[in-house]
Amino acid sequence: MYFDLSKPQKLLQQSVRDFCKREIPISRVRALMETDSAMDDSLWMEMAEQGWIGLHLDEQYGGLGLGPVELSVVAEELGRACVPGPWLSTNWAATLLASIGGPVASELLPGVFDGSMRITIAALEEQGSWSFDPAVMETRLSENGKKTVTEAVTVNVLNGRKYLVQHAQQADHLLCVAGVDDELCLLTIPVASDGLRITSTPGIDATRKVYQCDFSNVPIRRDQILARGDEARQALQQSQNVAMVAVCSEMLGILQWLLKTTVEYAKSRKQFDRVIGSFQVVQHMCADLLLLTESARSAVWNAAWALQENLDANRAVAVAKVYVSDAVRKAGNLAVQSHGGIGFTWEHDLHLYYKRAKADEYLFGDATFHRERLAEMILG
């Protein structure tokens, strides 16, 4: 048993950390988040050049062919630096495409990996959930006229609305989760399609932009249907597991930042003629931050490894999402409280991490959602 990063993984970690320090200091994060897209092309192309898009995916598509552990290493560093932009949503979408394979994957993925093609996923609905029950899904693919969806030339139409679609306005293609009859289906939709309206809906976290996508009789050709039924469900689940490892790793990076920043502040801020880190209550808050962060690391590494080994990854990933989502919220609260007034200001960087953590807590389902999933695995 060796429960640590390997040497190459540690080198990767260092190189991402160095890049972020050099290229994406917090001043650039703040500048980017004030823009409409929270990204700029040069940074995106640089990240693509580093190989960070699809680094865990097959070399046949242009990925680096590394594994979920390496993806986790990169995500943690991007979280620690609060790097804005569509890295997470792009990797989620790329994983989904790769998992389905076929001509669309071959067509789009090379461009995704080199940064020239932008994709994202439209999945969540306002009154839906991350379990994507087709029975209650509002976004539906339906037959136009009387022809069936299996006929190659038939044009079907998509109607409905998706929320919290990351970086939809910066994307060339949306992958869309929809209901068709009593099944799920996965579609690829160019953003320029007729009947598709994308509206900005600023969220709590300004470092990633989210949009509402309205589909009004959007025509869907058969070759835009990537998968349906069990195949769609499995590909989606698998891509979510990968993306959840990434988002948990990102939260781990946030936890590391919160711990380090809070301990440093507690060691330097003086009140009552002594540093506040000498007050037992502040010490204990820092000790709790340490415990939360270290435990989150165990959970994240275990999930990444289980995914890599294909060992009951559903369970390991759910455990990580539950633990880390709760941990990062508690840690954010401890960090703000330990900082006092200064930690509550816009000027201090704490709120950037605090808000990103809140968005991550929700993303792919909060702790309560995944506890129910775990209960299903444990109790049936």
Partner 1 sequence: MDLNLTPDEQKFRDELRSWLAANVPEPWPGHRRGEADAGYWDHLRDWQQKLFGGGWAGVSWPVEYGGRGASPIQQSIFLAEVARARAPEHFGVIGEGLVGPTIMAVGSEQQKQKFLPRILSGKDIWCQGYSEPNSGSDLASLSTRAIRDGEHFVVNGQKIWTSFAQIADWCLLLVRTDTSVAKHKGITCLLVDMKSPGVSTKPLRQMSGDSGFNEVFFTDVRVPIENQLGELNNGWRVGLVVLMNERANLGASVYVSFEETMRQLIEHCRTRKRNGRLLAEDPLVRQNIAQAHVELELFRLNTDRALSRSNAGETPGPEGSILKLYWSEMNQRLSQTAMEILGDTAQLSTFDNGNWAYRYLRSRGNTIEGGTSEIQRNILAERVLGMPKSY
Q: Which of residues 256-285 bind partner 1 (CB under 8 A)?
A: 263, 266-267, 270-275, 277-284
Q: Which does 117 bind (CB under 5 to 8 A by kind): partner 1, its own copies, none?
A: none
Q: Which stretch binds partner 1 (CB under 8 A): 43-51, 139-147, 151-159, 362-370?
A: 362-370
> How near is the Cβ of 20 to its own copies at its closest, in Å?
37
Q: Are 73 and 9 in contact (CB under 8 A)?
A: yes
> How near is the Cβ of 279 to its own copies at its closest, in Å?
6
> How near is the Cβ of 280 to its own copies at its closest, in Å?
4
- 140 closest CA partner among 193, 196, 218: 218
Structure tokens at 288: 């709790």
* Distance (Å, whole) CA 372 – CA 165: 24
Q: Which of residues 278-297 bind its own copies (CB under 8 A)?
A: 279-281, 284
- Binding residue (CB under 8 A) for partner 1 from 91, 314, 354, 357: 354
The yes or no reply on residue 50 touching partner 1 (CB under 8 A) is no
The yes or no reply on residue 294 touching partner 1 (CB under 8 A) is yes
Read off φ and ψ for residue 246, nearest 5 degrees: -65, -45
Q: Which stretch binds partner 1 (CB under 8 A): 11-19, 227-235, 236-244, 300-308?
A: 300-308
Q: Which stretch binds its own copies (CB under 8 A): 91-99, 255-263, 274-282, 289-297?
A: 274-282
- Cβ proximity to partner 1: between 29 and 220 the closer is 29
Structure tokens at 33: 């988040």
Radius of gyration of the chain (CA): 21
Q: Which does 78 bind (CB under 5 to 8 A by kind): partner 1, its own copies, none?
A: none
* Distance (Å, whole) CA 11 – CA 7: 6
Q: Which does 31 bind (CB under 5 to 8 A by kind): its own copies, partner 1, none?
A: none
> How near is the Cβ of 373 to its own copies at its closest, in Å?
22
* Distance (Å, whole) CA 342 – CA 76: 26
Q: Are 262 and 334 in contact (CB under 8 A)?
A: yes
φ/ψ bin of 38: left (φ > 0), alpha (ψ from -120 to 50), beta (otherwise): left
CB burial readout 31-43, b (16+ within 10 A) else e:
ebbeeebbbeeeb
Taking residues 159 to 188 in sequence order and writing x for each that binds partner 1 by CB under 8 A, - otherwise, the string is ----xx------------------------
Q: Are 145 and 91 in contact (CB under 8 A)?
A: no
The yes or no reply on residue 275 touching its own copies (CB under 8 A) is no
Q: What is the DSSP string of 185-215?
A: EEEEEETT-TTEEEEE---S-TTS-EEEEEE
- Binding residue (CB under 8 A) for partner 1 from 203, 248, 254, 317: 203
